[in-house]
Amino acid sequence: MAKLYFYYASMNAGKSTTLLQADFNYRERGMRTLLFTAGVHDRGGKGMIDSRLGLQASAVPFEPDTDLRTIAEDAHFAATLACVLVDEAQFLSAAQVRQLAHLADEIGIPVLCYGLRTDFQGRLFPGSAELLALADSLVEIKSVCDCGRKATMNLRVDDGGNAIREGAQKEIGGNERYVALCRRHFMQRTGAAG
């Protein structure tokens, strides 16, 4: 039975690397995959999944109104898909998560989604919230805070390394813009500690 998986973590935990490794494993065995990534994510170029380790693969970019179900079904009926993999899954809409659940439930294609659980304010992304509610399997990929504890939060910083507390939920950036922290240090740096 195919399942909907949500692999979540803070920044710099290796989500894209893990996705690319899973894709490689399927393709090495002669199985066909379909990769999606958020259109807003363009660190390695639009429609590219890239890892900080230097791995990359082309993917279908999605926008909030992209019909993932139709794209995947068309690809599957043209030549059987063994798996659908989604990078930057936090940017999925709730409707798109339900489309992916349909692929697993009704078409029998495993769907592996990789993304952040929370934003820089410690709030769930809409796509992550829907995945946490609907996924058959929730898998946390571990990252480490500067103190050595498990990093679960994403702190947005300015050029001076100061915490940014306000702004748009979606802002693409890497190590120059985000720091993965444990909850304790996130709360201290954002002033949210009671």
Which H or E run contains 59?
A: none
CA distance 158 to 160: 5
CA distance 114 to 3: 14
Of 127, 58, 123, nearest to 96 by C-alpha is: 127
User: What's the angle, vertex CA 96, arms to CA 40 and CA 43, rounded to 5?
Assistant: 20
Distances (CA, A) of 5 to 77, 84, 125, 172, 187: 22, 10, 16, 24, 29
φ/ψ of residue 141, rounded to 5: -95, 130
CA distance 184 to 82: 41
Catalytic one among 73, 88, 140, 171?
88
Active site residue 88: yes
CA distance 147 to 58: 36
DSSP 8-state assignment for residue 23:
H
List, by residue number, the catalytic residues: 88
